[in-house]
A = this chain, B = another copy of it.
């Protein structure tokens, strides 16, 4: 059985990096972690599951909001400790209402500038 190398330990949990990327536009939607259970559930259900390092638990992305991430394809990196999920994203990936979690850029003045439009209102969803 092919398995990634869950070699990065954070708060006692062995993890890989998981990057969700829109399968059509190649936009990076979010970056998170998976433990072995999250990885196996993602493979089995074709829906992205992650491991929350702050809440210390597995989560199905979109469980509350309905904004499920359907997995179209998985890529793996050279040393097998990071994966890309090619994703069909329902509505938006970010809990703040934006399509992606990377909705801000750092300006030359070292300030944050918002570069996306909201795709939904969080108060309507959570």
Residues of A within 8 A of B (CB): 1-2, 8-11, 17, 19, 21, 25-28, 30-31, 43, 53, 73-79, 82, 84, 94-96, 98, 101-106, 110-112, 115
Instruction: Give the residues in chain B near A28, CB-CB below 8 Å.
Output: 19, 21, 26, 28, 84
Q: Name the CB-closest residue of B to A3.
A: B110
Complex CA–CA separation, A96 to B53 (angstroms): 31
Complex CA–CA separation, A78 to B21 (angstroms): 16
The reply to whether B31 and A17 form a contact with Cβ atoms under 8 Å apart is: yes
Q: Name the CB-closest residue of B to A97.
A: B78
Complex CA–CA separation, A46 to B55 (angstroms): 35
How far in angstroms is the closest Cβ of chain B from A70?
15
Take A8-B10, A9-B10, A19-B19 as given contacts and tell me if A77 and B112 are in contact as well, using a CB distance cutoff of 8 Å: no
